[in-house]
Amino acid sequence: MIKPDFDLSGKVAVVTGGGGVLGSNVGGGLLRAGAKVLITDISKKKLEEKHTALSPLGELSSTVCDVLDIESLQEVLNRVVGDWGRIDILVNAAGGNMPGATLPPDKSIFDMKIEDFRRVNELNLDGTVLPCMVFGKAMAVTGKGSIINISSMAADSAITRVPGYSAAKSGINIFTKWLAVELASKFSDKIRVNAIAPGFFIGDQNRAVLLNPDGSYTERSEKILARTPMKRFGDISELNGIVRFLCSDEASFITGAVIPVDGGFSAFSGV
């Protein structure tokens, strides 16, 4: 019997930030592909809501976790291994931005709140590095696994207003490549580390920036679409195909890659 493309039946996945839009979407995609999935989030309320929504899709577990706390991450690993025997997939979807590290049009870098800048870097970069250390160590023991980090178009070129987020995601890009080399050369060629770089999607965090109260596009949206050859925003579900592919055996020779999912934004010069 030929298995469907990107089949993940029997694989065990952990998705951090599973209470958010991106993390829950990815978790749902992995469940549909046949994986057993544990989603984590620091917010119990968000986690419970997403667990209820996703549980009909497959074998799902969830637990509150702070990705900046090694002990909290270790407890999640112990639970996964205790319940399902191993971990095959880690998706680091925890992250986000903060108002103080985002600059409105009438402000400059000199108005930025440095504490928020640091917190954004900690949440996104440290919140990726620490889970990689905990769950990646378990993969090093078994000699196989796939780690997927979340980058951004903000790491590809200078996008105005988001200095903290841009710096953090740029750090994730080089860490992804570094860790791919580290794990493949020192432990196993069957442990792979990649990242996806989403383009522009309208979600709860950026809705007010991209849409006017009447639902029309803001000036910022018009600038984005002018640089996007497909002339549209993405749908969050359009991330699922590349995530499933990178987690599957079909991607067995791909590691250290940062793959854009952006409608051509990163390829277009604007001319």
* Active site (catalytic) residues: 165
Q: What are phi and psi of 193, to 5 degrees?
A: -130, 120
The amino acid at 116: D
Q: What are phi and psi of 64, to 5 degrees?
A: -70, 135
Rg of the chain in Å (alpha carbons): 18
Tokens at residue 240, please? 């699922």
Pairing of strands 60-64, 145-150: unpaired
Q: How far is CA 84 from CA 59, 135, 211, in A?
A: 11, 14, 43
Measured CA to CA, the distance from residue 206 to residue 232 in angstroms comes to 15
Secondary structure letter of residue 266 according to DSSP: G
Measured CA to CA, the distance from residue 96 to residue 198 in angstroms comes to 13
CA angle 59, 64, 65 (to 5 degrees): 110
Measured CA to CA, the distance from residue 193 to residue 246 in angstroms comes to 9
Q: Are residues 166 and 209 in contact, defined by beta-carbon separation less than 8 angstroms?
A: no
